[in-house]
Copies of this chain bind each other. A is one copy, B any other.
Amino acid sequence: MQKPNAADGIPAGKVITDPDSLGRYAHDEAEWAPAGLPLAVVRPQDTEEVRAVVAYCARHRIPVVPRGAGTGLSGGANAVDGAVVLSFEDMNRILRIDPVERLAVVQPGVVNDDLRAACAEQGLWYPPDPASSPWSTIGGNAATNAGGMCCVKYGVTRDYVLGLEAVNGLGEIVRMGRRTAKGVAGYDLCGLFVGSEGTLGVITEITVKLRGARPPERTVAGFFDSVVAAGDAVSRVTAAGVVPSALELLDRHCLKAVDAWKNMGLSADADAILLGRVDTPGAAGDAEAETIRAAFAEAGAAWAEVSTDQAEADALFQARRLAYPALERLGPVLTEDVVVPRSRVPQMLARIEEIAGEHEVLIANIAHAGDGNLHPLIITEPGDDAARARAQLAFEEILDAAIAFGGTVTGEHGVGLLKMGGMDREVGPVNLAMQRAVKAALDPYGILNPGKVVVSGAPLAH
């Protein structure tokens, strides 16, 4: 990158180009996705600096890759060669929490848990709770439309983003969305930006909707002899008409990995665990918890109880949180993020077991089972290139199976680099052409996180 001068509005001291830093900012947590070498990293302090950088890059046709905490799992924040990485850790202020209007205004670098803690102090709740919440940022969450455990009842990030400020592909500052409860003034550009992974603009401020403080939760645990039986329990819960505030699944590979690391003694008891939560207050909540317990039992749970011991319940959810890092200790993890209709969860889990067998790879399953969002994790021995190739075949077959069941290739991680082929197969050529046309319209120079989500934009035409 030609060092910008004062006239460009980018203080030269803000431009980081030492190789160590560049390497650190070059990739997210999608270990299997390719990453390029950035030209420079800029850590902007405010919207005006973001504007100056993007305008400079637009003039010189330099790619811009925005980046939150780099916890993404699809390669969406990976650098491309010659790009300027815009990293938001210095724009991490909560600008406003408004208890009357029930909204918060934050800079993109605010960490999810920090926002949640600040809201809790005022008796408010920001629901989206991706597993990365201790590290991931609201900007990254908005860019990927992040999900989490409570989505099954409370929705995803898009359901909470009321308004955005962003810098578009021409380096212009734009406000989208609203601060009010409703609004239909024109196209929903705000919703379009959520989940667009930095390919349509760079988010510089986010206004999110808040809810009142969350009521206490009851936990229902079920231990099963097979992952397919656990999947059947999920279908039964859905069919019973209960909407749990969480419904998580862990299979035996996860339980073993957690035991090997933390010695929690879970894998001796079950081949799969379901963890349900209910936060409806009073007798109605008691009835929901009992309905979930009964559904677990009817699906053949070896053990199913509404927990009366908070410490035990917390330990089970702690195992859920530890599962991913525990599996990462075994080798490189290729993370899936498919969603199938809830009634298809058992068949999809059976199909994943088949695919693992056919390709001789280890596939562990963590799932936000209550909304059919499965995270099969394909794990290979470090350095085993043949296994790596088999894992990639299994990865694409899982995507195809999800599509065949009427599902989607990504529920909450985003397309990034890893799901581009799968998305193309899922949405079909007309939808894809329309996405490309939108990309071309809003990023006419093709500088915004190029090569992610959709390949080069093109106008729509016969």
Contacts and interface: CB of A to CB of B under 8 A. Distances in A.
Given A100-B238, A174-B430, 16 more contacts: A100-B235, A144-B184, A158-B188, A174-B431, A180-B339, A182-B339, A182-B411, A183-B408, A184-B195, A184-B411, A187-B453, A189-B435, A282-B284, A437-B441, A438-B441, A441-B459
B151 A182 contact: yes
A188 B179 contact: no
A170 B435 CA distance: 14
A374 to B, nearest CB: 11
Report copies per complex: 2
Contact of A186 (B101, B339, B453): B453
Interface of A: 99-102, 123, 144-145, 147, 151-152, 156, 158-159, 168-170, 172-176, 178-189, 191-192, 194-196, 200, 212, 235, 238-239, 241, 243, 281-284, 339-343, 368, 371-373, 406-415, 419, 422-423, 426-428, 430-432, 434-435, 437-442, 444, 453-454, 459-462
B415 A168 contact: no
A44 B200 CA distance: 36
Nearest to A281: B284
Counting from the closest, the 3 A-B pairs by CB-CB distance are A181-B371, A441-B441, A183-B408
Given A100-B343, A101-B343, A192-B191, A183 B411 contact: yes
A180 to B, nearest CB: 4
A186 B281 contact: no
Contacts of A438: 187, 189, 192, 438, 441-442
B415 A444 contact: no
Given A100-B235, A282-B282, A442-B460, A187 B196 contact: yes
30 contacts: A100-B239, A152-B181, A169-B460, A170-B461, A176-B431, A180-B372, A180-B406, A181-B342, A181-B371, A182-B339, A182-B412, A183-B408, A184-B414, A185-B408, A185-B415, A185-B423, A186-B431, A186-B435, A186-B453, A187-B196, A187-B435, A187-B453, A188-B194, A189-B431, A281-B282, A282-B283, A438-B441, A438-B442, A441-B441, A444-B461
Nearest to A180: B339
Contacts of A432: 186
